[in-house]
Structure 1
């Protein structure tokens, strides 16, 4: 049966089990949009291409399947670049379809023409253009295979406008699952022998691929073997925080005691991640330790420093192999003292407490008792949030200091419960929360963002209303780009420049959509505002005001 190339692409998406595509429509791929009209795939209409790309990234991270975004040529593709860079550095599977100028208009500087390979060639696993209608399904399927195999990442597929309408009798391809490398028994035996002979071994877990929940199994294995489990930056939902071996996360905002413990390890076993700059405090910690890598990338492209053993495996296949081998073989004669010390350090750090750095809080340095608090104490607020969510919600983050309190105080007990830009990109929190609410409507999706981060993609709340998603957004408003101010105070003290912002009342802004908005300026008002927001029928937002001088709590506290 003959059909257009654009419709064949939709059939290939259906064969891959795609449930949603995140799109900003454009005339350059009208035939694909027409194919989606009669498809069971939901077309999530977004308000900005960066938001669409971020939603696709969240889909990939939370489901284990590549997320799909669709944008138009030139300006649309440029706007989507931020999500491609994030997926590339974060190693998250994503497929971006980009409408292109008609074939006969190429190389004429036609309206919105650009070089697909020139723009995306250095930040995508593959850039391809469908130039033959008979290969439209084949190349679509290939894009998914490439995105999900090896080190996951983004694939960009160009769609020439006129080619999409050409007819083809090519069949819908039958998808082939990406390879699932299984570690050899001899390699697992060697790894267990290394663990047994080490005095201070540690697992370091990270990357994507933990959504099925085997992180708990691996953490329980580690506990029985007396091995602490650290997690990489913004990958700490890999392990439930109530397991006996969880020892905290590494990277920005981590506890000094956690980083010190990582640095004291004499054996580091990286599973799903590598020794990169953020995790290692800027390439300064963990380089002398014996090192085992368990990743799917044979080139270990993002790893720096020593490698003593390299297993090509997924986190799931390694966990299965270790469980079959048994934790006793990995314990040796080691007691639990080393592991328990690391676990207790994280527990002390994550214990709920008021933030002693908040100006005006009685007991803060140099502030007399009885002085009125000029803003919300985030230490208390995020402790309340943690109690309410009970480790089951999906949290999403962009970038900025405002996220550090949530990283520190909010627990994660369920897998696939965190989406954050590991490359530090701003603007991800809101679109990721919208996607999370669509993917898992039975769970609460909570975006935590600063005022700067929120207004980069806050317009995607319109997408939530349009598609029935009900995220909660917490906007921490200090009127500045706080992370940059913190750097300025360190290098150019007393000389703020280019970091001041003016904001509206975000609660009123949310109410203008018909959603639930709360404006909180006092600590004692946060808990009742949160309770009302969590009970709201639809999207909700809490606008939390803090003093501009407040910076994240000290990493040596606890």
Structure 2
């Protein structure tokens, strides 16, 4: 007997559409503009986990982290007006990080459009510059069609964010339509002659350099591209915050090309006679402000990317290859390595420079953060997930630690502060069995640190390392370079971060010396609770390569701003040491 489809509300259809697309988690801040969708999600609660967050930006960061780790679109749901505006930062992260994401936004009733109704926003105009596609569903019958297309767009070509507005009254309408599941689409493969031409170019090179970047990589794809690069003994750099793509402990690793890149690596990259740009867009951070290469193609570039429009967008390649990155990696691995490559010394030089820059200097003060991080690297599990916020503090783990083959590293390539804590929670919800370590500064923590409540609510336990120097460190660095002594707007006053998490019932520690660091993190991991380890760093050591005094002296030599006639603003003194015993 033929089964008769039953009428469903738009809210129930939306929930069922998410399930049909294989969604396992959705991150939300609830709102009255999508009450019917919330009710629909209640009906599928055994198949889809709804994660209740405290701030829309945090919800989208969690969804974005989920998308990075799984390769499937992360899903966030927010309410109209202010909720959508708060969510916009996460959409921008997904755009610049090429992360698949679907954002559902509640909308006013259709009949109120263009009256500047309560919380009315035209989302097509608002999100169009930072999303791959923005649409609105006003007819419940079209929910399966539009939602299926939204997920297709999010993962096609260069992955990215899609925004779907859902009008309020549409969610109440009863309609009878079937669900639509994902389409099976075979990925694009390299053109038949692509790998042959690449091999011929590689055989003629003397100083080749591979730069790995982009998104959409699978574990098998990462292994395949590593096998290919290692078989050809190529030096490998990773692009900005893409440390997951190559084993940082391997002898072929040359370092990262991004913000704070080693000057030696940058100089060597300029000497390369062939660049294999695989997955990376060769954007502003990777290209060091578009100064790394000649845009007309003086240095031959083989540019491999999923999106045709990204190839040659800034740098004209000698060979462009449009392909799914994992398909390219498999095809490349299947080819014979170059016979007797002549660049062994070149590769050794680049790797040697990487090892040299990772050596820990003798920093002033009781805490040598470089040595502390290197000691931590040795004891963390091989499947650790790292997340990082934006800021000067983030250059310390990038310089002094190495992400291993089975570890993951998530960071915002658009430099969004407030990313670290929510992404750590999203990562832990996605893979609860894996340890998650978050690196975040005191400035970034105070932007979205309240999301730690979400970790407690959903019973996950990331470990948050808060590097506290009581300032917006990156801006202070630029300030001292340009306007030395004239401290304006960059000093901060902070709480006791350990007590902050203890108020929730979590595990809090304070670290002020090198020797305290690793035991504190180990206790935090062993606690089984959401944890914060507050790392009180030396405010004078504003970067891992320069102090504030250094920057002021450099500015004076360069003819910078004169010594101020009025007293300079003072960085707040470090908070006093805790008098209560640390957890043991």
Per the TM superposition, whether the score is higher than 0.5 is yes
Aligned to 1:472: 463
8 Å contact from structure 2 (residues 311, 320) kept in 1:
no
Matches within 5 A, 1:370-519: 373=366, 376-415=367-406, 417-519=408-510
Is structure 2 residue 305 aligned with structure 1 residue 295? yes
1:136 counterpart SS class: helix
| Cα deviation code 1:259-292 (max 9, x no counterpart) | 2222211111111112221111111113231011
SS at match of 1:299: helix
Asked if the contact 1:128/1:158 (under 8 Å) is kept, the reply is: yes
Moved more, 537-546 or 73-82: 537-546
Name the structure 2 match of 1:236. 243
Report the alpha carbon displacement of residue 344 of structure 1 after superposing the two structures with TM: 2.0
Residues 1:552 and 2:557 aligned together: no
- 1:270-315 Cα deviation digits (max 9, x unpaired): 1111222111111111323101111011111784222111111122
Kept in 2, the 8 Å contact 1:271–1:295? The answer is yes
Aligned counterpart for 2:32 among listed residues 27, 31, 52: 27
Let me know the Cα RMSD of the aligned residues: 1.6
Residue number in structure 1 paired with 2:364: 359
The corresponding residue for 2:116 is 109
- Residue 419 of structure 1, CA deviation: 1.0
| 1:133 is aligned to 2:143 | no
Distance (Å, rounded) in 2 between the aligned partners of 1:533 and 1:205? 33
Which of 158, 181, 188 is matched with 1:181 structurally? 188
Alignment deviations for residues 13-47 of structure 1 (CA, whole Å, 9 cap, x no partner): 11221110000000111111111112110000000
Give 3-state SS (helix, strand or coil) of 2:234's partner: coil
The residue aligned with 1:63 is 70
Of 346, 361, 375, the match for 1:338: 346
Q: Is the 8 A contact 1:219 1:245 kept in 2?
A: no
CA distance in 2, matches of 1:80, 1:417: 25
Corresponding residue number in structure 1 for 2:211? 204
Q: CA deviation at 1:415?
A: 4.7
- The structure 1 residue matched to 2:199, chosen from 175, 180, 192, is 192
**Matching residue of 2:336:** 326
CA distance in 2, matches of 1:391, 1:200: 32
Matched residue of 2:532: which SS? Answer: strand
Q: Does residue 123 of the first structure (1) align with residue 133 of the second (2)?
A: no
CA distance in 2, matches of 1:303, 1:119: 25
CA deviation after TM superposition for structure 1 residue 217, in Å? 2.8
Measure, in 1, the Cα distance between the counterparts of 2:471 and 2:344.
Answer: 45
Distance in 2 (CA, whole Å) between partners of 1:12 and 1:478 is 46
Shift of 1:392: 2.9
Give the superposition deviation at 1:214.
Answer: 2.7
TM-score if structure 1 supplies the norm length? 0.93
Give, in whole Å, the separation in 1 of the partners of 2:16 and 2:515: 54
Q: Distance between the aligned counterparts of 1:178 and 1:5, measured in 2? A: 28
Tell me how far 1:240 sits from its aligned partner. Answer: 1.6
- Shift of the 413–359 alpha-carbon distance from structure 1 to 2, 3 Å rule, reads closer
Q: Which runs of 4+ in 1 moved over 6 A?
A: none
Residue deviations 1:397-417, cap 9 Å, x none?
111011111112222224561
Per-residue CA deviations over 1:124-182 (Å, capped at 9, x if unaligned) read: 00000002111111111111100110111110000001001111111100211455110
Cα contact 2:305–2:311 (8 A) shared by 1: no
- In structure 2, what is the equivalent of residue 367 of structure 1? none
Aligned to 2:576: none
| TM-score normalised by structure 2 residue count | 0.89
Q: 1:306 aligns with which of 296, 316, 321?
A: 316
Corresponding residue number in structure 1 for 2:558: none
Give the 3-state SS of the residue equivalent to 1:475 in structure 2: strand
Give the 3-state SS of the residue equivalent to 1:513 in structure 2.
Answer: coil
In the alignment, is the contact (CA less than 8 A) between 1:61 and 1:416 conserved in 2? no
Alpha-carbon shift at residue 424 of structure 1 (Å) = 0.5
Superposed displacement of residue 438, structure 1:
0.9
Q: Output the CA distance in 2 between the equivalents of 1:79 and 1:524.
A: 40
| Partners of 1:519 and 1:544 within 8 A in 2 | yes
Aligned to 1:168: 175
The answer to whether the Cα contact below 8 Å between 2:12 and 2:36 also exists between their aligned partners in 1 is yes
Are the counterparts in 2 of residues 247 and 346 from structure 1 also a CA contact under 8 Å?
yes
- State the Cα distance separating 1:331 from its structure 2 match: 4.5
Q: Does 1:86 align with 2:93?
A: yes
Offset from partner CA, 1:467-487 (integer Å, 9 cap, x none): 111100000000000000000
Give the stretch that moved more between structures: 342-351 or 16-25: 342-351
Whether the aligned pair in 1 keeps the contact of 2:8 and 2:174 (CA below 8 Å) is yes
- Of 31, 36, 41, the match for 2:41: 36
Answering whether residue 357 of structure 2 is matched by residue 349 of structure 1, we say yes
Paired residues of 1:6 and 1:165 also in contact (CA < 8 A): yes
Structure-2 separation of matches of 1:223 and 1:336: 11
Kept in 2, the 8 Å contact 1:210–1:415? The answer is: no
CA distance in 1, matches of 2:339, 2:208: 10
